[in-house]
Amino acid sequence: MPLFEVEGRSYEVDEDGFLQEPERWNREVAKDFAATEAIADLTEEHWKIIHYIRNYYLEFGIAPMIRKLCKETGHKLNEIYKLFPSGPAKGACKLAGLPKPTGCV
Amino acid sequence: MANDSGEKPETKMLDELEKGPWPSFVKEIKSAGQTSASAQDLLRQLELSYQEKKGHWKHGGLVGVLGYGGGVIGRYSDAGDQFPKVAQFHTLRVNQPAGWFYTSDAIRTLCDIWERHGSGLTNMHGSTGDLILLGTGTAELEPTFQELAQAGFDLGGSGSAFRTPSCCVGMARCEWACYDAMKLCYDLTMAYQDEMHRPPFPYKFKVKCAACPNDCVAAIARADLSIIGTWKDEIQVDESAVNEYASAGLNLQKDVCDLCPSKCMAWDGHKLSIENHECVRCMHCINVMPKALRPGKERGAVIMIGGKAPIMQGALLSSVLVPFVPAEELMDTLKELIRRIWDFWDEYGNNRERVGELIQRVGLPVFLDGIGLDPVPEMVSAPRDNPYIYFQVAKDGEK
Ligand code: HEM
Ligand code: HEM
Ligand code: SF4
Ligand code: SF4
């Protein structure tokens, strides 16, 4: 397993940089991972989405469908891409400490 | 056992696949291997797979370029320490030009970009229609994307997105085209850039445009929404050309009339007659006698829904949704129809459920009601899988 290291902290991640130990997640983890997804600062808007995904994951064990994410957070999909340039699956889920969403292609 | 040595890969088993008269992917990868280290490692890993009877590609990765949620398909080797040049081997889908027309300059530019940034291996074209660039590392994705963009190319769709639409060569080369499939394909591509690059759906959504019932892009079997050219009036007949075929030795009875699926043609030795209201627009007679017969003058397309290959459930062919739309109304009709289909599918579709599977689950009447189309009795009791029959317009007073 590769390690992701930042300011003396290190995390086990998969090859796409997703956190391998979901239970280690906290706000600091999200901040540490933000730089890897081209996000300079985490704003309230970012946090709203991160928390929504995180809580959904804790409750159901999977990431929410895109449509649900947009509906529940009140963001259009292209707004989510403005906040998380690599998108909801690769960007937002990574910061929320979820394991990599499945799906082959 | 890293292989930077420049030695040629040992490919005893793969060599078998070069034998025989047909084209061989092994030969092609070897030829790329003369200049590409990753093509060599690809051969080495594949040779190992053949020896062990075991694949070495891991389950899909999640990589991409900023701003897009698709267009790149992530692949990792589980034997990256043995074959470092294919440890990461991602695929880029590049949006092809409608009808696959390139200048040789454009192809050279693409290949140069790919030799600088990837394995040099291409697949022109994938079955999705896109131009496929096979094999590169994560760090190369953004630079490749930038160079492609400068050369006027964009990535195509992947994942739960509006997939890159594709079309037949249509009016560019083909006398049978009943509408301009290339223009429609281009217009749809431009209209749905958001849905293509930022996957919003329960699953993939494919659109393919064929300009006549020969369906050279196999839309009926592969696309969630198929747009297949057809005509409403009568097959155009050039009688003297028919007789030329006959005197040149064509057996019109056996090779044309007897093979007409609806048996609506007759040949008396001088004159060919067609009962056009029975014709199912299969193209057979026209394909046999292109100089004598051609599609009618009132042209347009049939819109079909629900085709797909097997995954969660078995393969489906498309069913007719709208039997005939005049060519000049196609884009407007499609925009409205697509919006309604997506709304319904978004609302009721399960995760990873194709629209055809959703229709099977809820039933066609519910679906038609959901998108606000009036069902025709024939559609509901036995959904038509043959697109080529045209319902005659009801005369005044009839049903
Ligand atoms: C478990 C592994 C894999 C699965 C389940 C898988 C599945 C698929 C599926 C379902 C498609 C069709 C996607 C679509 O059009 O919607 C596809 C396309 C493709 N895959 Fe894979 N794949 C796997 C591994 C690979 C690997 C290892 C490579 C290359 C190294 C690869 C290269 C491609 C390419 C180039 C296409 C596009 C082909 C075309 O459009 O004709 N795949 N794959
Ligand atoms: C020799 C074996 C295979 C070949 C050459 C092959 C090739 C392809 C190609 C070229 C496509 C793209 C079709 C298109 O969009 O027009 C495709 C799609 C697909 N393949 Fe395969 N495939 C093979 C085996 C499999 C197997 C074993 C599975 C699953 C267990 C599979 C699952 C799929 C799925 C789910 C799709 C997407 C279908 C869709 O778009 O509806 N394939 N395959
Ligand atoms: S589908 Fe019809 S119009 Fe298109 S290329 Fe094939 S024969 Fe020609
Ligand atoms: S197009 Fe097909 S169905 Fe129609 S007349 Fe020709 S052969 Fe018969």
- Name all residues whose Cβ lies below 6 A of ligand 4: B 260-262, 264-265, 274, 279-286
Taking CB atoms and an 8 Å limit, are A65 and B159 in contact across chains?
no
d(CA B304, CA B319): 5
Query: Sorting pLDDT into bands at 50, 70 and 90, what band is B308?
Result: confident
Inside any domain, residue B66: yes
What's the confidence (pLDDT) of residue A104?
44
Residue A93 is a catalytic residue: no
B222 and B338 in a single domain? The answer is yes
B189 and B247 in a single domain? The answer is no
Q: Find chain A residues with C-beta within 8 A of B66's C-beta.
A: 38, 85-86
Q: Which atom of ligand 1 is nearest to the CA of B132?
A: 35
Q: How many CA atoms lie within 13 A of A90 on its CB side?
A: 28
CATH of the domain at B208: 3.30.413.10
Domain A3-95 has what CATH class? mainly alpha
B317 and B194 in a single domain? The answer is yes
- Helix (H, G, I), strand (E, B), or coil: what is residue B32? helix
Q: Which domain holds residue B288?
A: 236-294
Q: Which two tokens stand for residue A44?
A: 């309230």
Provide the percentage of residues in chain B whose pLDDT is more than 70: 92
B220 and B240 in a single domain? The answer is no
Instruction: Answer whether residue B159 shows pLDDT above 70.
Output: yes
B53 and B19 in a single domain? The answer is yes
Q: Find chain A residues with C-beta within 8 A of B128's C-beta.
A: none
d(CA A91, CA A30): 11
- Report the Cα B175 to chain-centroid distance in Å: 21
- Helix (H, G, I), strand (E, B), or coil: what is residue B131? strand
State whether residue B63 sits within 8 Å of chain A by CB: yes
Q: Which atom of ligand 4 is nearest to the CA of B280?
A: 3
> pLDDT by residue (tens digit) across A33-88?
998 999 999 999 999 999 999 999 999 988 999 999 999 999 999 999 999 999 99
What's the confidence (pLDDT) of residue B29?
96
Nearest-by-CA chain B residue for A66: B200
Q: What is the mean pLDDT of residues A8-17?
A: 92
Select from A66, A78, A80 the residue whose CB has the most chain B CBs within 10 Å, as the one to mutate to test that interface. A66
Q: What is the mean pLDDT of residues B159-174?
A: 96
CATH of the domain at B254: 3.30.70.20
B306 and B261 in a single domain? The answer is no
Q: Which of B56-70, B82-96, B168-182 has the lowest mean pLDDT?
A: B56-70
State whether residue B201 sits within 8 Å of chain A by CB: yes
Q: Which atom of ligand 2 is nearest to the CA of B309?
A: 41
d(CA B6, CA B4): 6
Q: Give chain B's domain count.
A: 3
Which ipTM was obtained for this model?
Answer: 0.89
Q: Find chain B residues with C-beta within 8 A of A81's C-beta.
A: 67, 69, 198
Instruction: Answer whether residue B28 shows pLDDT above 50.
Output: yes
Query: Sorting pLDDT into bands at 50, 70 and 90, what band is B387?
Result: low
Domain boundaries, chain A: 3-95
Chain B stretch 77-96, residues whose beta carbon is closer than 8 A to a beta carbon of chain A: 88
Chain B stretch 352-391, residues whose beta carbon is closer than 8 A to a beta carbon of chain A: 352
Let me know the angle formed at the C-alpha of B204 by B202 and B210, rounded to the nearest 5 degrees.
140
Inside any domain, residue B221: yes
Inside any domain, residue B385: no
Instruction: Answer whether residue B91 shows pLDDT above 60.
Output: yes
B241 and B325 in a single domain? The answer is no
